[in-house]
Amino acid sequence: MTPRIHIDTAACNGYGNCLVAAPDVFDLDPDTNIAFTQPGHPTEADHDSLREAEADCPVRAIRISES
Amino acid sequence: MSTIGTGDRIPHCPVSETITTNTAEGEQMTSPTGGFEFDHLSPGWNDTTLWDAYERLLSAGAATYSPLHGGYWIISRYSEVKKALRDHETFSSASGHRIPMVDGMSSIPIDYDPPVHTHYRSLLTRALTPDSIRDLQPWLTSMISEVVAAFYQSGGGDAVAEVALSIPLRVLTKIVGFSPATVARFRELTEDIWKDGTAESQLRGRAALVDALDRDIDEHRARRPDDYLTWLLDAEVDGRPIDIGEIHSVLLTLAVAGHETTLNSVSTLLYLLASDLPLQERLRADPSVAPRYVEEMLRLRTPAQMFARRTNRAVDVGDTTIPAGSWVLLLNAAANRDPHQFEHPTAFDIDRSARGHLAFGWGIHQCVGSALARSELRILLETLCQYPPITLAADPAFTAIEAGTHFGLRKLPLAFIDAAPRS
């Protein structure tokens, strides 16, 4: 199953914890400082780090679901 | 009951055992574990008494009450500290992050709750985006090389003044746009705030720092260089123009929190290396492990040790109910030594995973400069590998808990173990 990532861009306040948990998946937009997912991701292999990114978000802006 | 830091003092012992403690209402309360008073503001803390006190607090219970400074609850265990840090609705920051908190000493953004906090925090993240930190790497590398080269050329010396303070002050000129003359005064002016522990000295010290900042603000208004400070002058807060009080508060946070935390991080890291030659040898053999040294230092000797909150409602912490309206001191530094979270917690072990440590806090108030700090510390370690090993040249001197939060070194005399004399 491929994980699906939802980012609530209104809630995101640029903490960047997701970058620390899953550096290959997340990045922050240099202009808006809001999180986005990098192209080509995620894969199943990212599962654990994605769950960490979800749990680590201080404003709970990340939701991971399986599709 | 005797405690150091208030009234009668027992030198060198800032905690004292008691069987009973007073609740906020003044009732006598027996602590099932045998509580003891903890005074974070005691001048008597040192490198031994502080960590011992944390060990005792960790085994004393999930929440301990101290009747000092108007009364406050202490939470030290990892799971409970983390839970409180995440629950900003119950553990409010709006009354301040210090115990006791002086009126007029509130800081942006740490002393605010959402939604105001959210608006204020974005004023700071602007200076510290991941992208700008990445772009800063070459500059950091050359600046830190200069600082270490100068320290080596003079044969070492006090690493607190010559290395640990230089690095964050130079960073502040770069990322904010403060002038070198202004940042040169930040340490002295910050120390003045906390010099005699009174509310008056805090307010007077803050005013003196604001005066220093005003020079840079005027200069930026006149010349408008392309930097963060100029951006801040025209920033908006929730759709309205920022006011001068807010500009001052943001700049004060950058000026004070921006140097004090890194100062203690650098001095602590250097102290750990200088007192353990094999630790340096391992790093020199493989400098790619530098980030592990950084994280383990942050966990073991957390520079920003503790932050206060105030409860918005009654809350259960372990088997204790903390009433609504209570002051609570969250001991991040003790939580990072909780044996239930970190095995053999008092050992500096770079092979462990220090992941999840609370040195930068957790939740909405977590350190906005953590990526920058991590870069500075990693680059410093990599740079040191290009020089002979360091060693203690004399006994170091530790601080007490400065400003009710920070722990580090006051003096750290270092020398290089040189095979050949410098030319």
What is the ipTM metric for this complex? 0.72
Instruction: Count Cβ neighbours within 10 Å for each residue of A11-46 and write b for 16 or more, e otherwise.
Output: ebbbbbbbbbbbeebbbbeeeebbbbbeeebbeeeb
Q: Name the average pLDDT for chain A.
A: 87
pLDDT level of residue A67 (50, 70, 90 thresholds): low
Share of chain B above pLDDT 70, in %: 90
Looking only at the bridges linking them, the beta strands covering A3-7 and A62-66 are antiparallel
Q: Is the pLDDT of residue B331 over 60?
A: yes
pLDDT level of residue B147 (50, 70, 90 thresholds): very high
Q: What pLDDT does residue B325 have?
A: 98
- Residue identified by tokens 């400074």 is B69
Q: What pLDDT does residue B422 have?
A: 55
How much is the pTM? 0.88
**N residues, chain B:** 423
Instruction: Please answer yes or no on whether A30 and B125 come within 8 Å at the CB atom.
Output: no
Q: What pLDDT does residue B144 have?
A: 98
Tell me the average pLDDT across B316-336: 98
The whole-angstrom separation of Cα B414 and Cα B301 is 19
Tell me the average pLDDT across A55-65: 90
Q: What are the tens digits of pLDDT across the range B358-404?
A: 999 999 999 999 989 999 999 999 999 999 999 999 999 999 999 99
Instruction: Please answer yes or no on whether A58 and B131 come within 8 Å at the CB atom.
Output: no
Report the gap between the CA of B89 and the closest CA in chain A (Å).
12
- Residues of chain B neighbouring A26 (CB-CB closer than 8 A): none
DSSP state of B30: E
Based on the number of CB atoms within 10 Å of its own CB, is B75 exposed (0-12), middle (13-18) or buried (19 or more)?
buried
Optimal mutation site among A12, A20, A49, A60, interface B, most CBs of chain B within 10 A:
A20
Optimal mutation site among B126, B129, B372, interface A, most CBs of chain A within 10 A:
B129
Tell me the average pLDDT across B46-71: 95
> Where do the H-state alpha helices sit in B126-161?
130-153, 159
Share of chain B above pLDDT 90, in %: 85
pLDDT level of residue B96 (50, 70, 90 thresholds): very high
CA dihedral of A27, A28, A31, A32, whole degrees rounded to 10: 140
Q: What pLDDT does residue B419 have?
A: 61
Closest CA to B303 of B332, B328, B323: B332
DSSP state of B406: B
Q: What are the tens digits of pLDDT across the range B289-313?
A: 999 999 999 999 999 999 999 999 9
Optimal mutation site among B366, B367, B375, B378, interface A, most CBs of chain A within 10 A:
B366
Q: Is the pLDDT of residue B1 over 60?
A: no
Give the residue from chain B lying closest to A14, CA to CA.
Answer: B125
The whole-angstrom separation of Cα B88 and Cα B83 is 9
Instruction: Please answer yes or no on whether B129 and A14 come within 8 Å at the CB atom.
Output: yes
Instruction: Please answer yes or no on whether B118 and A28 come within 8 Å at the CB atom.
Output: no
- Residues of chain B neighbouring A61 (CB-CB closer than 8 A): none
Q: Is the pLDDT of residue B2 over 60?
A: no
Q: Is the pLDDT of residue B357 over 80?
A: yes
Q: Is the pLDDT of residue B135 over 70?
A: yes
Instruction: Please answer yes or no on whether A28 and B86 come within 8 Å at the CB atom.
Output: no
Of residues A39 and B187, more confidence is placed in B187
Q: What pLDDT does residue B16 have?
A: 45
Q: Chain B within 8 Å of A59 (Cβ-Cβ)?
A: yes
Give the residue from chain A lying closest to B369, CA to CA.
Answer: A15
Instruction: Please answer yes or no on whether B122 and A14 come within 8 Å at the CB atom.
Output: yes
Report the gap between the CA of B394 and the closest CA in chain A (Å).
38
Q: Which of residues 18-47 of A touch B (CB under 8 A)?
A: 19, 27-28, 30, 33
The whole-angstrom separation of Cα B38 and Cα B380 is 35
Q: What pLDDT does residue B418 have?
A: 83
Q: What are the tens digits of pLDDT across the range B250-285?
A: 999 999 999 999 999 999 999 999 999 999 999 999
For the ranges A40-49, B21-30, B232-241, the maximum mean pLDDT occurs at B232-241
Give the residue from chain B lying closest to A11, CA to CA.
Answer: B118
Distances (CA, A) of A48 to A19, A21, A42, B60, B145: 14, 9, 11, 35, 38
DSSP state of B343: S
The whole-angstrom separation of Cα B213 and Cα B222 is 14
- Residues of chain B neighbouring A30 (CB-CB closer than 8 A): 129, 131-132
Q: What pLDDT does residue A44 have?
A: 72
Q: Chain B within 8 Å of A10 (Cβ-Cβ)?
A: no
> Where do the H-state alpha helices sit in B158-309?
159, 166-175, 180-183, 186-194, 199-223, 228-233, 244-274, 277-285, 290-300
